[in-house]
Structure 1
């Protein structure tokens, strides 16, 4: 069975690549049908890596002006709708913000195409947006267009991913099929002994000298000196730094500023940030990580080439879903529909 996948807010292709490589050993596959995003570089990256022979299937348009009715039939829909207004960082605008209502376009696509299943992804902060009303409304809307849903709070480091990245992912199965097919949250048990340390992800195997997107970021002399006093796992505010190198920012207690990775643990969350000491910093070398090293923490293969400027690539890598995490969830969906049992655990939020 081949499941045709449509995507809204597709990003650079973390979900899509995870779907592409999902394999449960019976020949069932998820294949690309179409995708939409509004950023040109992001769309170019997606096209280059996911569907180079079918570029016209990637629509680079603002979803608010996009004709959702012109697309081809699909069996599955994925939408990692923009999380800006639901993130725990910044102001909680929720439904009042520019991005808050964008999930409704995913719901609209479900109503139009009635795929067998869907995957929707967002940050954990969505649970508390608008005093919890936003999340209830989103789940209610998904049910109202005919889906039985399983929302779960995934901690990707528990699935062997070398990064503490926490996301809510909702899997929905169309009601007429949900009588027979019951999606279950994959168990984390089999990943307990996986080496998901940042050091292992970045160093093993060594990144090839000619790897894509591996340009170094220039560090000023002051930054290099400051980093020498920051131990692995520390940041600019909890390290013992000489007075002349300290950051004098009133009220700033953001733990990610000049934070060095702990080589023996999963990295902290990869984001698109870069200015003012918000790059991720190497545990032993006095420098920021390259985009390729960050892509490793996001479990992209080294032959996945991001398009655009270094700054654009940094943002793309930061917005993506970890490839291997997506693969694990898509394989659980495939097994669900193939009638193959798999180790599972209770869903939780």
Structure 2
């Protein structure tokens, strides 16, 4: 069960697949700090550089390709000149590699907005592209809080199955739910950010935690993304990767709302193990955490695919 990982970042998606029993044999990212983080935690099989400069002949054959591509170029105006938009380059690279390597499956993570871009024309264009490449594609919107991640994070997972593969991939069913919903048998209440960070000491106290440093960016408690109060009795707001307009990263407020969460606390909310260490400046580490797919959610996605390979054996 060999996996090639594109746009790997720090490796959240890779970690979930690894935990499910897959073997990531090759990975790539253009961010130097993320690559160094990946090497420290996974090994030397990641290649630093732009995927645009890498020949498919240099990428090993595999069973599965995973990754996430940006979708900013999928607008109504740009659909007619799709390949001319620089923001679509990475999507086209993902398509190029899938088309050439012909894995049995591919998994792509993206923001929820991809489903509504250009009034739905963008996702239909993507489906057509992968159909031409020999794949039937599925899509579904998820909230990672429904899978035990102490964070409300809505993401779309695209799954492609090669047309000659006789297997119907089934997305994992939620195992957690909002307390407001009627609890069904086997469905637990969401894990809250207060629960997730309950035993984490203050950064200024004595501890041996990796990356337990935090942004001094002022807590303002305004009704604006990244500035809202954090409710300790709910999952965390989405961990951000974007900056505050001045080059930094706007970290989510701690559940006590007395400061910003540290890099380590943000990583805990994303579901990274305590021994997973991030390299680079504080802003870079925040960005790596915010860009990642929560490993716990990635594991749930990957576990569903294990059924195919077990049947193949």
Q: Same fold (TM over 0.5)?
A: yes
Check whether the contact 1:93–1:100 (CA below 8 A) recurs between aligned residues: no
Choose the corresponding residue for 1:68, options 19, 41, 56: 56
Of structures 1 and 2, the larger Rg is shown by 1
- The alpha carbon displacement at 1:164 in A equals 1.0
- The alpha carbon displacement at 1:339 in A equals 4.1
Q: How far, CA to CA, are the matches of 1:133 and 1:295 in structure 2?
A: 35
**What SS does the aligned partner of 2:285 have?**
helix
Q: How far, CA to CA, are the matches of 2:107 and 2:188 in structure 1?
A: 28
Check whether the contact 1:163–1:298 (CA below 8 A) recurs between aligned residues: yes
- The alpha carbon displacement at 1:260 in A equals 2.1
1:100-131 Cα offsets, whole Å, 9 max, x none, are 24212112111221111110111111122233
Matched with 1:261 is 230
- TM-score of the superposition, structure 2-length normalised? 0.86
Choose the corresponding residue for 1:280, options 243, 252, 256: 252
- The alpha carbon displacement at 1:97 in A equals 4.6
Check whether the contact 1:93–1:129 (CA below 8 A) recurs between aligned residues: no
Matched with 1:249 is none
Describe how 1:184-263 pairs up with structure 2 within 5 A.
184-189=170-175, 192-204=187-199, 209-218=207-216, 223=218, 226=220, 235-237=221-223, 255-263=224-232
Q: How far, CA to CA, are the matches of 1:296 and 1:140 in structure 2?
A: 38
Q: How far, CA to CA, are the matches of 2:78 and 2:210 in structure 1?
A: 37
**What SS does the aligned partner of 1:125 have?**
helix
Structure 2 unaligned residues grouped into runs of 5+: 178-186
**What SS does the aligned partner of 2:297 have?**
helix
Choose the corresponding residue for 1:19, options 8, 17, 24: 17
Check whether the contact 1:213–1:305 (CA below 8 A) recurs between aligned residues: yes
Check whether the contact 2:13–2:67 (CA below 8 A) recurs between aligned residues: no
Q: How far, CA to CA, are the matches of 1:164 and 1:86 in structure 2?
A: 25
The reply on whether 1:37 has 2:23 as its aligned counterpart is no
Q: How far, CA to CA, are the matches of 1:134 and 1:285 in structure 2?
A: 39
Matched with 2:286 is 314
Q: How far, CA to CA, are the matches of 2:160 and 2:264 in structure 1?
A: 33
1:194-240 Cα offsets, whole Å, 9 max, x none, are 54101111225768811111113235xxx46x5xxxxxxxx414xxx
Check whether the contact 1:16–1:50 (CA below 8 A) recurs between aligned residues: no
**What SS does the aligned partner of 2:156 have?**
strand
Check whether the contact 2:263–2:285 (CA below 8 A) recurs between aligned residues: yes
Structure 1 100/206 Cα, relative in aligned 2: closer, same or farther at 3 Å?
A: same
Describe how 1:78-227 pairs up with structure 2 within 5 A.
78-85=66-73, 95=82, 97-177=85-165, 179=166, 181-189=167-175, 192-204=187-199, 209-218=207-216, 223=218, 226=220
Structure 1 unaligned residues grouped into runs of 5+: 23-28, 227-234, 238-254, 341-349
Structure 1 115/39 Cα, relative in aligned 2: closer, same or farther at 3 Å?
A: same
- The alpha carbon displacement at 1:171 in A equals 1.2
Q: How far, CA to CA, are the matches of 1:321 and 1:270 in structure 2?
A: 11
